[in-house]
């Protein structure tokens, strides 16, 4: 198992970029999301040099791949190279979705090779890049394991139907976490409890990520985040505002909630599952609950950018990650939701506790409770984001 700071570092980096972004499908929404509009590029597939050049350039986030204890080797990538003869140049150069987009935007807009064959970005950014025509369509013939072993939970997102351009790297659930000492041993398992239980007053945290905090509140109200109207959004915001005004909510946080939860300064809060798994490794008083009405999930996703020089090699690597034995090694290290069917048995050989953890391998009942926030237009995103910022004081 990795130690806790790795998952926490990864989470803080991801959500720092996601808090103000929209999950959108149309080009008109770009200007409303902090990125200037760019013309759609339908450059067509470039010549693939995979046969002659046995290599892949792979960009990912920091601390998002298994490594040996000395930090000198990446076992799964090295095994792939040994098996296929394809060398992987692995670069941890994604620290923020918007920042990384800025690195490659000009090249993609001009129909040029970015120098990368495989990238990992968050779902809302994936939607944006696919809508711009900047991501290659994947060849199912090169992805037999991925096609067969992708879990139903992640099989066909609205922004990439049928996974024509992407495959999930990891799932990132937002749930409820609590400190048993701080709650007097009581379980906290609903948003209503967070917002209304007087015994928790002043010791409750919500996330500064709009889609997670508002989405969970909508679910508690019997509303689907996938279908929410402006009125639904306002009603959820009003509930949260009441929690702020009454001092029930201590604060809205990024990843920094982990320290307060660990110490008990926060008795309960909305939390990201990867952080909870890591906290539990060191603190047995940390508990979690999946609300009966459901929880929110986002994904990081593997994609091949336009004009990639080694597309087929990249597809072979994606498919390799969907072999259960390989996926288990990554899951044991990362501790987020593994999107690969059949991984539980393999993960149990490495770490039985992880294999039994529904935050890493959701059972069917847990997976069916997963929800995602619907796509927002530019106008909606601007309005929703401003209202949420006014609430949180951001």
Are 97 and 159 in the same domain? Answer: yes
Within its chain, how far is the Cα of 245 from the centroid? 31
Are 135 and 187 in the same domain? Answer: no
Are 380 and 265 in the same domain? Answer: yes
Domain contains 359? no
pLDDT, tens digit (0-9, with 9 covering 90-100), for 106-138: 999 999 999 999 999 988 889 889 999 999 999
Are 145 and 177 in the same domain? Answer: no
Angle 318-320-324 from CA coordinates, rounded to 5°: 120
Are 274 and 312 in the same domain? Answer: no
Secondary structure of residue 9 in the 3-state scheme: helix
**CB-CB contact of 211 with 298 (8 Å):** yes
* Percentage of residues of the chain with pLDDT beyond 90: 71
Instruction: Kindly tell me the sign of the dihedral angle through the C-alpha atoms of 158, 20, 229, 241.
Output: positive
Q: What is the pLDDT of residue 32?
A: 32
Q: Which of 214, 193, 215 is nearest to 204 (CA)?
A: 193
Alpha-carbon span 44 to 30, nearest angstrom: 22
Number of domains in the chain: 2
pLDDT, tens digit (0-9, with 9 covering 90-100), for 35-73: 334 455 555 567 899 999 999 999 999 889 999 988 899
Are 159 and 218 in the same domain? Answer: no
pLDDT, tens digit (0-9, with 9 covering 90-100), for 209-257: 888 999 999 999 999 999 999 999 999 999 999 999 999 999 999 778 9
**CB-CB contact of 386 with 37 (8 Å):** no
**CB-CB contact of 217 with 236 (8 Å):** yes
Alpha-carbon span 60 to 303, nearest angstrom: 11
Q: What is the pTM of this model?
A: 0.79
Phi, psi of 300 (to 5 degrees): -100, 145
Are 154 and 217 in the same domain? Answer: no
- Which residue range(s) make up the domain with 143? 55-164+304-322
- Residues with Cβ within 8 Å of residue 315, at least 6 apart in sequence: 138, 139, 142, 143, 304
Domain contains 327? no
Alpha-carbon span 129 to 233, nearest angstrom: 26
Length of the chain: 394
- Looking up residue 159, the CATH number of its domain turns out to be 3.40.190.10
pLDDT, tens digit (0-9, with 9 covering 90-100), for 277-321: 889 989 999 999 999 999 999 899 999 999 999 999 999 999 999
């Amino acid at each position: 198992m990795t130690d806790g700071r790795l998952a926490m570092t990864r989470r803080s980096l991801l959500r720092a970029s996601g808090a103000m972004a929209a999950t959108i499908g149309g080009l008109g929404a770009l200007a409303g999301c902090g990125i200037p509009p760019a013309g759609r590029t339908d450059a067509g597939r470039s010549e693939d040099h995979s046969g002659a050049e046995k290599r892949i350039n792979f960009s990912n986030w920091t601390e998002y791949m298994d490594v040996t204890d000395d930090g000198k080797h990446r076992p799964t990538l090295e095994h792939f190279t040994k098996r296929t003869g394809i060398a992987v140049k692995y670069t941890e150069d994604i620290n923020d979705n918007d920042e990384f987009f800025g690195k490659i935007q000009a090249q993609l807009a001009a129909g040029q090779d970015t120098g990368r064959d495989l990238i990992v970005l968050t779902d809302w950014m994936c939607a944006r890049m696919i809508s711009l025509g900047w991501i290659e369509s994947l060849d199912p013939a090169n992805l037999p394991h991925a096609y067969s072993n992708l879990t139903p939970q992640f099989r066909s997102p609205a922004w990439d139907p049928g996974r024509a351009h992407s495959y999930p790297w990891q799932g990132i659930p937002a749930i409820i976490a609590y400190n048993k000492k701080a709650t007097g041993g009581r379980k906290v398992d609903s948003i209503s409890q967070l917002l209304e239980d007087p015994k928790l007053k002043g010791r409750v945290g919500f996330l500064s990520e709009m889609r997670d905090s508002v989405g969970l509140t909508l679910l508690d109200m019997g509303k689907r985040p996938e279908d929410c109207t402006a009125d639904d959004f306002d009603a959820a915001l009003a509930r949260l505002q009441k929690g702020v005004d009454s001092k029930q909510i201590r604060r809205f946080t990024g990843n920094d909630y982990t320290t307060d939860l660990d110490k008990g300064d926060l008795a309960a809060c909305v939390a990201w599952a990867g952080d909870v798994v890591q906290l539990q490794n060191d603190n047995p008083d940390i508990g979690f609950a999946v609300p009966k009405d459901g929880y929110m999930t986002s994904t990081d996703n593997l994609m091949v950018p336009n004009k990639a020089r080694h597309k087929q090699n990249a597809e072979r690597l994606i498919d390799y990650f969907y072999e259960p034995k390989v996926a288990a090694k990554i899951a044991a290290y990362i501790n987020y939701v593994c999107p690969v069917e059949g991984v539980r048995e393999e993960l149990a050989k490495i770490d039985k506790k992880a294999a039994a953890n529904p935050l890493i391998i959701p059972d069917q009942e847990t997976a069916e409770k997963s929800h995602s926030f619907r796509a927002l237009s530019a106008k909606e995103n601007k309005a929703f984001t401003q209202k949420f910022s006014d609430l949180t004081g951001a």
